[in-house]
């Protein structure tokens, strides 16, 4: 990554943090990376997941017992843990594109951080386990966290570069996964092909990879990874939702495939066109829930065109019929976390804009602004439990059940891209990576 780009990023971040600390009445911010957690009645640790507010300040994702001490107006201090340890990997002292921007102290024991901390006019962000008698300052102040979350929605050029890089890695891995699917691999084998092409292990993935053959595509967060190969005659479809990491930033991409030509292949193609129309509609000042509602109209239109429902698109949305086929939200903020923070916030100081009553899982209720990054991920699924509810409801007569039964064994379709909205244009990072690779 480019050193100058990072220097500009940290300069902007510092001005944001200075203003926010001032607004909240703090001089110092102590941010802890976290500590390893031991599994219950065991001596193995859970995979380490860094405090996202730590990686927001420094691109370090794999080092517990480390700290950023940020004093208003000063170069941030990084307390970087480097124990003498013959059991575990110890990272080298940082000497990379970002290291000049920090005053770095090396810790050989976790307790060596303590003398660097003070509680006067200080706030602490992190988990407090094991730090009970430490001078941390006010722990996780709500207003401070709200303001930091709000600010994270506006990505800097360095952050955009990381998100593009995460997309580049993930797109290469998606291509490898499609090849594995077409050669008859099991879900488990497809996932291995994905990870190998990404060059990242599963603990580095931003979320558990969703790799579903045939009707498994209808299980929204299916992470089971069956090791069974499906005989070619029974192979119908494939849905994969998998990302990648670049310096702590996430990709979150979904692709859906038909194994052979036919109605399901046509459905995938129709959803692909519709998804790109939605991306094309994104612009500054558009409330994201309006786009979500338009997505439901477009899903209804496809349901009608494929003869799955009898209602007009407008009445299928009004009645809630489309909710059976697309029960999740259209998308969410993306950044250091896959479901990035602040999507329901009504202002920098806090407050909540809840999702509409008919779309409880919509994760973004904000109005789109420049430099924000979203996923756009319409879906259309044949989900047993929701279809069962529909069959028992007053809307049952609006459905062509024979057509539903024909498509049910294919699971469903989701197509998900990662998009930057700029002041004057929309950048689809995911499609750009497909076009370039």
- The residue (of 376 and 404) whose beta carbon lies closer to ligand GLY is 376
Structure tokens at 236: 């119908």
**Contact between 252 and Mn ion (CB under 5 A)?**
yes
**Contact between 252 and ligand GLY (CB under 6 A)?**
yes
Minimal distance in Å, beta carbon 148 to ligand GLY? 22
157-182 and 429-436 helices, crossing angle to 10°: 60
- The residue (of 241 and 294) whose beta carbon lies closer to ligand GLY is 241
Q: What residues form DSSP beta bridges with 333?
A: 374
DSSP state string for 205-265:
SSS--EEEEGGGGGSTT------PPPPGGG--EEEEEEEEEETTEEEEEEEEEESSSSHHH
Task: With CB under 5 A as the rule, give the number of residues binding Mn ion.
Answer: 5
Binding-site member from 207, 270, 350, 406 for ligand GLY (CB under 6 A): 207
Q: What is the C-alpha separation between 278 and 298, in angstroms, rounded?
A: 9
- The residue (of 136 and 376) whose beta carbon lies closer to ligand GLY is 376
Minimal distance in Å, beta carbon 244 to Mn ion? 12
Q: What is the C-alpha separation between 209 and 211, in angstroms, rounded?
A: 6
DSSP state string for 132-196:
TTS---EES-HHHHHHHHHHHTS--HHHHHHHHHHHHHHHHHHHHHHHHHHTT--HHHHHHHHHH
- The residue (of 101 and 187) whose beta carbon lies closer to Mn ion is 187
**Contact between 377 and ligand GLY (CB under 6 A)?**
yes
**Contact between 28 and Mn ion (CB under 5 A)?**
no
Binding-site member from 375, 418, 428, 430 for Mn ion (CB under 5 A): 375
Q: From ligand GLY, Mn ion, none, which one binds at residue 301 (CB under 5 to 8 Å depending on kind)?
A: none
CA dihedral 53, 153, 60, 81 (to 10 degrees): -20
- The residue (of 101 and 245) whose beta carbon lies closer to ligand GLY is 245
Task: With CB under 6 A as the rule, give the number of residues binding ligand GLY.
Answer: 6
- Residues at the site binding ligand GLY, with contacts judged by CB under 6 A: 207, 241, 252, 338, 377, 416
Annotated binding site: 241, 252, 332, 377, 416
């Amino acid at each position: 990554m480019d050193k100058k780009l990072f220097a500009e990023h940290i300069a902007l971040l510092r001005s944001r943090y200075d203003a926010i600390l001032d607004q909240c009445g703090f001089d110092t911010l102590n941010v802890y990376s976290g500590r390893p957690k031991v599994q219950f009645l065991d001596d193995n640790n859970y995979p380490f997941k860094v405090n996202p507010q730590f990686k927001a300040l420094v691109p370090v994702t794999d080092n517990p017992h480390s700290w950023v001490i940020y004093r208003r107006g000063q170069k941030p201090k990084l307390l970087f843990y480097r124990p003498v340890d013959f059991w575990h990997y110890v990272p080298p002292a940082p000497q990379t594109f970002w290291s000049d921007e920090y005053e770095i102290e090396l810790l050989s024991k976790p307790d060596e951080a303590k003398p660097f901390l003070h509680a006067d006019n200080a706030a602490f962000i992190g988990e407090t386990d094991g730090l009970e008698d430490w001078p941390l300052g006010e722990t996780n102040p709500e207003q401070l966290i709200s303001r930091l979350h709000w600010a994270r929605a506006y990505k800097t050029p360095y952050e955009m570069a990381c998100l593009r890089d995460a997309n580049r890695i993930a797109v290469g891995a998606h291509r490898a996964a499609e090849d594995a699917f077409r050669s008859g691999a099991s879900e488990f084998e497809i996932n291995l092909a994905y990870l190998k092409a990404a060059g990242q292990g599963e603990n580095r993935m931003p979320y558990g990879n969703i790799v579903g053959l045939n009707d498994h595509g209808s299980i929204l967060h299916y992470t089971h990874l069956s090791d069974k190969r499906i005989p070619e005659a029974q192979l119908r479809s494939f849905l994969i939702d998998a990302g990648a990491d670049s310096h702590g930033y996430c990709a979150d991409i979904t692709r859906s495939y038909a194994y052979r030509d036919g109605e399901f292949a046509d459905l995938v193609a129709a959803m692909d066109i519709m998804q790109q129309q939605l991306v094309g509609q994104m612009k500054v000042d558009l409330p994201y829930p309006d786009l979500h509602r338009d997505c439901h109209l477009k899903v209804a239109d496809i349901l009608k065109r494929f003869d799955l429902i009898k209602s007009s698109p407008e009445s299928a949305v009004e009645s809630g019929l489309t909710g059976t086929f697309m029960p999740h939200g259209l998308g969410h903020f993306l950044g250091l976390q896959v479901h990035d923070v602040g999507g329901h916030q009504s202002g920098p100081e806090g407050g909540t804009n809840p999702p509409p009553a008919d779309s409880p899982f919509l994760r973004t209720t904000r109005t789109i602004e420049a430099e924000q990054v979203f996923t756009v991920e319409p879906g259309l699924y044949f989900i047993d439990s929701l279809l069962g509810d529909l069959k028992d409801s007053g809307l049952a007569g609006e459905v062509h059940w024979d057509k539903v039964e024909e498509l049910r064994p294919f699971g469903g379709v989701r197509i998900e891209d990662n998009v930057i909205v700029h002041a004057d244009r929309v950048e689809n990072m995911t499609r750009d990576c497909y076009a370039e690779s």
